């Protein structure tokens, strides 16, 4: 049987009783939209992060978009981010009417090269949008200094970094606001779509609550436009509330698999051969995806198919090279580190309930295939 890069069914088998009880709790509560479960999850998620506020929204893309809008980003503004990210990061920026400005990433960890950010600041720059990609955090201190110097907001895209830490600080607690996705594959995943924004600032949270609710301050009365209907669903909120109590266990499970991959593949590592993920100084990685790199990536993927092992690429096309973002004006070659990585990276199966025998199959198949080169 072909392996999966990600599969929720083993987790569902283990957690079925609790998850179905969550559904029953909501269905029998008498309130199906913005009820006790959304409020309860918001409180729990804020408490997990030690911040004052959390607003549940309908998905991670809108979490990024509404966070930017709540901080005043709109048409004519620029937001500095990376092209090496999930396209939704940039979809969200465009959704505000602002323009995405890209800097390149570091060769070692594929995260924002913060040394390039200040040169990208213009009078139109309104916000910095670091993406804590793959499960570890961007180096925040240089961004904090740049934001302070130029009066910019910082929004963290934490869609891939639930529970990750940076010099002891939790991902999502380092910016003016932070956006999370609970898409099912994520480190904290719902059984459908979901998202949230956390912030310590009362006014930002008040703005978020209006933005997700048509722009209304009270029912039937709009105070802000454009508004959205971007509420977190009550059933997903109750499921997330239950799963949040297990987040640290999920993260530990991912780290254990990463340790096994490192042990099983370490001898293949070579400067011009296989490269395994590098955890940057001060980071505690949560391994949303386990991204490795090899110059003969495409051959490896082809050959592993014969071992019935499916691999993923996060992401095969840098955002700035996509037709849909051609209007941003970035030529191929303009972000060389991002482009070179996209041609060579691939991801091994990674989810906490990934069976040990599948981990072993992946390791031995890679040993065979790369050993043949």
Question: If you ran DSSP here, which 8-state letter would residue 273 be given?
Answer: S
Window 162-201: contact mask with ligand PLP (x via CB under 6 A): -------------------x-x---------x-x------
For tokens 């809108």, the residue is: 62
Residues 136 and 279: beta-carbon distance below 8 Å:
yes
Q: Is 88 in the site for ligand PLP (CB under 6 A)?
A: yes
User: Counting contacts by CB under 6 A, is residue 86 touching ligand PLP?
Assistant: yes
The position carrying tokens 């130029």 is: 150
Q: Token pair for residue 95?
A: 């959704």
Hey, what's the torsion of the CAs at 25, 28, 31, 35, to 10 degrees?
A: -10
Cβ proximity to ligand PLP: between 114 and 181 the closer is 181
Taking CB under 6 A as the rule, does residue 157 contact ligand PLP?
A: yes
> Residue number with the shortest CB distance to ligand PLP?
60
Counting contacts by CB under 6 A, is residue 160 touching ligand PLP? Answer: yes
Of 373, 10, 23, 37, which is closest to residue 232 (Cα–Cα)? Answer: 37
Can you read off the two tokens belonging to residue 208? 């978020």
Choose among 219, 239, 214: nearest CA to 12.
239
Q: How far is the CB of 360 from ligand PLP (least distance, A)?
A: 28
- Which C-beta is closer to ligand PLP: that of 131 or that of 154? 131
- How many Å apart are CA 89 and CA 70, to the nearest integer? 16
Pick between residue 136 and residue 359 the one whose CB is nearest to ligand PLP: 136
The smaller minimum CB distance to ligand PLP, of residues 206 and 322, is found at 322
φ/ψ bin of 30: left (φ > 0), alpha (ψ from -120 to 50), beta (otherwise): left
Residue 193 CB, nearest approach to ligand PLP (Å): 6
User: What minimum distance in Å lies between the beta carbon of 289 and ligand PLP?
Assistant: 9
Using the minimum distance from each CB to ligand PLP, give the nearer residue, 60 or 163. 60
Q: Give contact residues for ligand PLP (rule: CB under 6 A).
A: 59-61, 64, 85-86, 88-89, 131, 157, 159-160, 181, 183, 193, 195
């Amino acid at each position: 049987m072909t392996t999966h890069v990600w599969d929720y069914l083993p987790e569902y088998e283990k957690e079925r009783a609790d998850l179905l009880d969550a559904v029953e709790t909501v269905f029998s509560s008498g309130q199906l939209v913005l009820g006790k479960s959304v409020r309860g999850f918001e409180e729990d998620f804020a408490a997990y992060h030690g911040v004052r506020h959390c607003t549940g929204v309908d998905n991670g893309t809108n979490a990024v978009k509404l966070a930017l809008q709540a901080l005043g980003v709109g048409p004519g503004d620029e937001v500095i981010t990376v092209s090496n990210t999930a396209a939704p990061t940039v979809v969200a920026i465009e959704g505000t009417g602002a323009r995405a400005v890209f800097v390149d990433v570091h060769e070692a960890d594929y995260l924002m090269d913060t040394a390039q950010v200040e040169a990208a600041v213009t009078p139109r720059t309104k916000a910095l949008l670091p993406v804590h990609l793959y499960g570890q955090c961007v180096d925040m201190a240089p961004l904090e200094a740049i934001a302070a110097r130029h009066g910019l907001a910082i929004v963290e895209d934490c869609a891939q970094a639930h529970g990750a830490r940076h010099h002891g600080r939790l991902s999502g607690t380092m910016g003016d606001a932070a956006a999370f996705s609970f898409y099912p594959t994520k480190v904290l995943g719902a059984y459908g779509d979901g998202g949230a924004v956390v912030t310590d600032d009362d006014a930002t949270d008040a703005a978020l609550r209006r933005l997700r609710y048509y722009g209304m301050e009270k029912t039937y009365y709009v105070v802000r436009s454009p508004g959205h209907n971007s509420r977190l669903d009550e059933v997903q909120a109750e499921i997330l509330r239950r799963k949040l109590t297990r987040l640290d266990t999920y993260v530990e499970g991912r780290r254990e698999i990463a340790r096994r991959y490192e042990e099983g593949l370490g001898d293949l590592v070579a400067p011009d051969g296989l490269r395994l993920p590098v955890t940057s100084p001060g980071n505690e990685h949560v391994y949303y995806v386990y991204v490795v790199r090899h110059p003969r990536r495409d051959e490896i993927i082809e050959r592993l198919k014969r071992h019935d092992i499916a691999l993923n690429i996060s992401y095969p096309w840098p955002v700035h090279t996509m037709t849909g973002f051609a209007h941003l004006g970035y030529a191929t070659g303009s972000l060389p580190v991002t482009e070179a990585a996209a041609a060579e990276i691939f991801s091994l199966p990674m989810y906490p309930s990934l069976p040990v025998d599948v981990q072993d199959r992946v390791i031995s198949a890679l040993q065979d295939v790369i050993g043949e080169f």
